[in-house]
Amino acid sequence: MEAVARQRRHRFNFRGSLNIPFVVFMVFFVIIPLFLILFYAFTDAEGHFSLKNWADIFSSAEKWKTIGMTFLVAFATTAICLLIAYPIAFILSNKKFNKNKVLVYVFLLPMWVNFVVRTMALKDMLNVAFITMFKTQLTASYPLLGTIVGMVYDYLPFAILPLYNQMLKMDKNQIEAAADLGANPVRVFYKVIIPMTVPGIISAATMTFMPTMSSYVIAFHMSNGKLPIIGTLIEFYFNTGTGGYNSGAVLSLVMLIIIGFSLVAEKLSDKKDDSRKAGIW
């Protein structure tokens, strides 16, 4: 028995070895970069411990303006994406309108194209249209509008997909029962359909809000570099040299904290939704 146990201990664990590539990836591309960000955020240009970087960031009115502008763009993009994606996802999930699911691939097809290519194509198309109609470029004259349009265009599929998946799981019997009991379509929508799709709304909002907060390529091109957000500021600091790494690392941590809070909020809302379902049944 001891020999068998010893043989099992020394036997090659094939399933465990499959985790090695993942562990290596996490160490070199997640843990080490995060450690470097923490190191630069709490040190000065000479490598000594310092909180001056944090004081410089949060005592600057210009930096607060940049953070506020980032939130404005992220919230506006998320709200517009939800308003557009919700009816689209509802139509796509309805077999009366989408019998062979071809429309789903039509709306998700832009995700297969590189977002930089899509952004540059959208920029040229909108500028040509605005020059023709208003004799001015959209990205040059209205950088905020151009950035929001670019963000919505690029991240709209990320809002459609979770809403579509959630609407496929809706209990159609509840919708029919509400209609049979005398509820009009508007009341059915607010009292039955929306509560059943809350998890999809939260997932869509999170999947849109988080990449919008960290995106700088879209903001840079769709505003001609005129609209400062956290992503563009981080890119600027890291390109200025060693001294800028410290300020860029602080802003990177700020962005990570914001994204972390949004993930926690999503988890808490999921738990509340599960508890409500448990209470109903």
Confidence band, pLDDT 50/70/90 cuts, at residue 268: confident
Domain chopping of the chain, boundaries: 61-280
| Arithmetic mean of pLDDT over the chain | 83
Amino acid 123: pLDDT: 93
Question: Which helix (H) or strand (E) covers residue 197, if one does?
Answer: none
pLDDT number for residue 152: 94
> What is the pLDDT, as a whole number, of residue 226?
87
Cβ–Cβ under 8 Å, residues 178 and 187: yes
Angle between helical axes of 242-280 and 230-239 (0-180°, round to 10) = 150
CATH topology of domain 61-280: MetI-like fold (1.10.3720)
Answer yes or no: is pLDDT of 271 > 70: no
Q: What is the pLDDT of residues 96-130, one digit of tens each?
A: 766 667 777 777 777 778 888 889 999 999 999 99
Report whether pLDDT(25) > 60: yes
pTM given for the model: 0.81
270 Cβ contact partners less than 8 Å away, ≥ 6 residues apart: 199, 202
Q: What is the pLDDT of residue 278?
A: 44
Q: What distance in Å separates the CA atoms of residue 89 and residue 114, rounded to the nearest whole number?
A: 23
